[in-house]
Amino acid sequence: MTYSRTTKALTLVPAAQGRPVLAADPDFRAAAGCLGPAVAAYISRREGDPDLVATGYQGRTAADAREVMCVKVAGNDATAAVAKLKETVGSGKSQNGGRPWAELLPGAAVESAGPGLVRLTARPRTDGGARQGVLLTAAFRGDLPDWRP
């Protein structure tokens, strides 16, 4: 399914560029593959932004649940993006509510996941009242942890 609030933004979708499926686009294929077996996912490239962001939620039970975010950065060198995302998750705060990312995503791990790919994984909090799908919600709100150097 493809959705946009503006017709112009739909031109960013591979199908509008003559490729009938997202998997035909190497960046979309890499970002989706980086997510792994997600039960819910959101993939987005904002107008004017060269980076492609994929967020997802893995796991069929609470015991194997994982929050995942993958970014396909412009070019194939994600070294600076990995360093910046580690810094943001370690000491940065969500813009929406001001809570530390380290609290929202305890035990988060950031790594290079291939040429131009950055992956963030974290186990969802399991304490009472903790929300699941933190990264999916952050993607919808435009409040993902920053990876841009």
Domain boundaries, the chain: 26-141
Give the C-alpha separation, 22 to 52, whole Å: 12
For residue range 38-97, what is the model confidence (pLDDT) as tens digits? 999 999 888 788 899 999 999 888 788 899 999 999 988 999 999 999 999 999 999 888
* pLDDT of 115 above 90: yes
Q: What is the pTM of this model?
A: 0.84
- Cα 130 to chain centroid distance, Å, stands at 20
**How many angstroms separate the first and last alpha carbons of the chain?**
32
Dihedral angle sign, alpha carbons of residues 37, 27, 86, 139: negative
